[in-house]
């Protein structure tokens, strides 16, 4: 096994571990049941989309696979922004519900 293959395997493992840890703490650091449910759904969608993106990069012939970066580069920041805003809205709604009790 050459150094490039070994580096790819180790780097992929580190990336996968980082994704697992990030998902765990994103769900764990929620404040209520609706927020937790939302984060679980978002996490599942993100795992599916990123896996499909990586599969596309590996399976599509060059140079066409590089075109996948265009929608990914646009959708990623917009998706992050939407998810953060939605999570804050759910958190505020749940806090307001708790304060009424």
In angstroms, what CA-CA distances link 16 with 10, 32, 50, 81, 91? 10, 27, 11, 23, 28
How far apart are alpha carbons 44 and 40 in whole angstroms? 6
Per-residue pLDDT tens for 21-78?
Answer: 999 999 999 999 999 999 999 999 999 999 999 999 999 999 999 999 999 999 999 9
How far apart are alpha carbons 91 and 71 in whole angstroms? 29
pLDDT score, position 101: 67
Neighbours of 26 (CB within 10 A): 17
What confidence category does residue 1 fall into, taking pLDDT thresholds of 50, 70 and 90? confident
Per-residue pLDDT tens for 43-54?
Answer: 999 999 999 999
How far apart are alpha carbons 86 and 60 in whole angstroms? 34
Helix, strand, or coil here: 13? helix
pLDDT score, position 86: 96
pTM, entire model: 0.84
């Amino acid at each position: 096994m050459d150094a490039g293959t070994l580096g790819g395997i180790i780097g992929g493992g580190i990336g996968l571990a980082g994704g697992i840890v990030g998902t765990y703490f994103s769900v764990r650091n929620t404040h209520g049941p609706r927020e937790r449910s939302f984060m679980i759904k978002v996490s599942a969608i993100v795992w599916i989309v990123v896996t499909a993106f990586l599969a596309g990069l590996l399976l599509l012939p060059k140079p066409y696979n590089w075109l996948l970066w265009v929608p990914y580069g646009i959708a990623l920041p917009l998706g992050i922004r939407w998810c953060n805003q939605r999570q804050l809205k759910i958190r505020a709604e749940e806090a307001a519900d708790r304060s009424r009790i």
